[in-house]
Every structure is written in C-alpha cells, then in structure tokens.
A and B are shown apart, each in its own frame.
Chain A
Amino acid sequence: VSVITQDGRVIVGTLKGFDQTVNLILNDSHERVYSSGAGVEQVALGLYVIRGDNIAVIGEIDEDVDSSIDLAEVKAEPINAVVY
C-alpha cells in the first residue's frame, strides 16, 4: 500500500495490520521522495508503525502497474501538508 501522511510524505510498504483508529503496521517500507529536480528517491525504512492521527490517504497499489513505472523519470512537486 501507499500511505500519504498529513505532513505530505509518501510511504510505500506491505500492510501487516491496522486497528479501529487506523494505526498501521507497515512491513518493508520505504519513503518515495518526489522533487521537480531529479527523479524519485527511495529511502529504506523497514518495519514501521504509523499512528492513525497522522494518516491522510491509504492507497492500494496495483503491483503490475507499479513495476512498470520508471521512477527515475517521474518528476513532481512534493505533496502539501494537511492544513486544518
């Protein structure tokens, strides 16, 4: 899954578990850093617990489509943080 956090980060990992308050346990996670300059940077994180308060969006990644994207080619502005 791809998790977008409220501070605008994108973290990709395998969803191991969750609870009522949408806290998540993510395995083999890495952060995808997008910038308008170079392509996409991936930072390895391992096993992560993300608190539900901090989550904005959880997206189900289609493995086939995802493996066909060349991340070095993708350029985009970073996502904004959530403003209440």
Chain B
Amino acid sequence: MLFFSFFKSLVGKEVIVELKNDLSVCGILHSVDQYLNIKLVDISVPDTEKYPHMISVKNCFIRGSVVRYVHLPAEEIDVQLLQDATRKEVAQLKSQQTAQVAAPSK
C-alpha cells in the first residue's frame, strides 16, 4: 500500500517506465492502481525510436507486473518523507506480526 500512495503523490509528473521486455516509455503519470498498473499520458519513446510500434499511441496502460523500473527525476522525491513512511510501514508490519504470533497461541 505504501508504494501505491507514493505513486499517487507523483500523478502529473513526468516519468520513464522501463519494462521487463526492455521497452522504455516516457510519459506523464496519469493514474495508478492497487496492482501498481500505470497509466501514462502523452507518450514518447526515448530509445531513439528503436520501438516504432508506439508512434501513433498517445496514452497507454502498463500492467504492473511488467514494470522493471520507474525512472523519476530526483527533484520530485522527498526522501525524508519516504524514509519516515517506510519506517512507519515496517513498524506497523512488525506489530501485526507479533499480534498474530500472540493470538494463535491462546
């Protein structure tokens, strides 16, 4: 859920999505869902158009499972906020785990 919220905060920013089939797609992040599927608007393919298949495509939907990387400009990221959020998430998961361990033993 953390990265879902993280991506929601990046809607409207320009990102480059690198896929597991080596295709890279540059575009503006339009929306994201719980599976981290990504919808990009105003596509361009940076790889010197080695992939002309996308010439007539302006908007696209990318399935979350095929994403290798999402390249983000450094200016967009608040590292402190991300670190704090991650620490909270870990603490939350740990307390969930100890609660689970305690309950079955009863």
- Count of B interface residues, CB-CB < 8 Å: 23
Report yes or no: A57 in contact with B19, Cβ–Cβ below 8 A.
yes
Q: Which one, B57, B58, B59, B62, contacts A56 given CB within 8 A? A: B62
Say whether B70 faces chain A, with CB atoms less than 8 Å apart: no
Report yes or no: A84 in contact with B20, Cβ–Cβ below 8 A.
yes
Report yes or no: B57 in contact with A79, Cβ–Cβ below 8 A.
no
List 27 A-B residue pairs with CB atoms under 8 Å apart, sorted by A's residue number.
Answer: A2-B54, A6-B66, A8-B21, A56-B19, A56-B20, A57-B25, A57-B62, A57-B66, A58-B60, A59-B57, A59-B59, A60-B57, A60-B60, A62-B56, A65-B55, A65-B56, A65-B58, A66-B55, A66-B56, A69-B56, A77-B50, A79-B21, A80-B21, A80-B22, A80-B23, A82-B19, A84-B20
Interface residues of B (CB under 8 A from A): 19-23, 25, 37, 43, 50-63, 66
